[in-house]
A = this chain, B = another copy of it.
Amino acid sequence: MSPTRRRGDALTTAIFQAVLSELAESSFEELTFDKIASAAGTGKAALYRRWSTPAELVLAALSDPATGFGEPPAPPGTGTLRDDLIALLEQFVRALDEPRGRALLPLIAHRHRHPELFEQVHRLVIRPHQEVLLSVLRQAVDRGEAAPGSLTPRIVSVGPRLILLQAWEGGLVDSCEITSIVDEVLIPLTRP
């Protein structure tokens, strides 16, 4: 019945994908080695050999470049603030449609129950993305496209937050909504 017995990275990647999928449709507390093993089509022993807690596994899956957020996002560098913002938010929306993105939602929602885990997720995933957004705004300020006062964490967070809630409510966010957020909210908000 099994096509072949996987080993090494092939198996690890399958396990990571299983972790993120399970996380995406439940929550961290419901994550068990049992479910992960069956979702990955392997036995629990293969998991126990490598990780000892679900938290380790989640962080490993999120850190992996293939399945998670292994490398920080690239700055778009389109030359204008508007296009940079649209590119970043579209990238964000695309990520939220993948398992790695959907896996973030339960972690964010229950952040207060697992502060240490969320802290690492924040460092690993959220902060780098905020940094990119901030650098985009900084360049816009240098070009005179945005007010220097826009460089606050608060303002930086508005775009991702609106996207996040939209994704939470409706599922996928279409690009028309992204441009609407950029043009009606973010650009007015940062105008010099």
**Chain A interface (Cβ < 8 Å from any Cβ of B):** 27, 108-109, 111, 154-155, 158, 161-162, 164-165, 168-169, 180, 184-185, 188-189
Chain A's interface: helix, strand, loop or mixed, by majority?
A: helix
Contacts of A108 in B (CB 8 A): 168
Q: Shortest distance in angstroms between A95's beta carbon and chain B's nearest beta carbon? A: 18
Q: Shortest distance in angstroms between A100's beta carbon and chain B's nearest beta carbon? A: 19
Given contacts A109-B109, A165-B165, contact A158 B185 (CB under 8 A): yes
14 pairs from A and B in contact (CB 8 Å cutoff):
A27-B27, A109-B109, A109-B168, A111-B169, A155-B184, A158-B162, A158-B185, A161-B165, A162-B162, A165-B165, A185-B185, A185-B189, A188-B188, A188-B189
Contacts of A188 in B (CB 8 A): 188-189
